[in-house]
Amino acid sequence: MTIRFREAEAADAEALAGLLSPLGYAHTTGSVRDNLAERVARGGAVIIAEDQRAVVGCVSALLDVRLAEGRCGEVASLVVAETRRGQGLGAQLVAAAEAG
């Protein structure tokens, strides 16, 4: 199956809330939309993985400049749908965030 990686948009908030819910995060579409907007406003990104128009994973990454290391990135959140785990999608999401 072909996986497409792209930056998350406000319209993806419902699907993202659905990914977070099985992990015990009680988010609404609105709270995810707010968190997404703030993450982007603070210089980060949320990349989603889509399979046949369904969101099957996401990674939230942020950029930082540290005194010793200089510019670096950090994965703040990484979620893969239970049905897609064990297929390398998490590594692909991290690679997409690094490339982005």
Structure pTM?
0.87
Pairwise CA distance, residues 92 & 24, whole Å: 24
In the predicted structure, residue 38 carries a pLDDT above the cut 90: yes
Instruction: Give pLDDT, residue 100.
Output: 72
> Could you report the per-residue pLDDT of 60-98, keeping only the tens digit for each?
988 888 899 888 888 989 999 999 999 999 999 999 998
Contact 37, 21 (CB under 8 A): no
Pairwise CA distance, residues 19 & 32, whole Å: 11
Count of C-beta atoms within a 10 Å radius of residue 31: 14
What ranges make up the beta strands (E) of 9-96?
A: 44-51, 54-66, 70-80
Residue 44 binned pLDDT confidence (cut-offs 50, 70, 90)? confident
